[in-house]
Amino acid sequence: MAYHRIFVVIWLILSQLGGAVLALVPLLLAGVFSMFMVLGALEPFFLTIALICGVMFALFSLTVASWVAFFRKKDKVASILSGFCLLIGTTLHITMQYLFKSSS
Q: For the beta carbon of residue 30, count every other beta carbon within 10 angstroms.
A: 20
Distance CA 90, CA 104 (A): 22
Q: What global pTM score does this model have?
A: 0.73
What is the residue range of 80's domain?
A: 3-103
Q: Could you list the pLDDT tens digit for every one of the 104 residues in the chain? A: 677 888 999 989 998 888 888 887 777 777 666 666 655 555 566 666 777 778 888 888 889 999 999 999 999 999 999 999 889 888 888 887 777 677 65
Number of structural domains in the chain: 1
Distance CA 69, CA 88 (A): 19
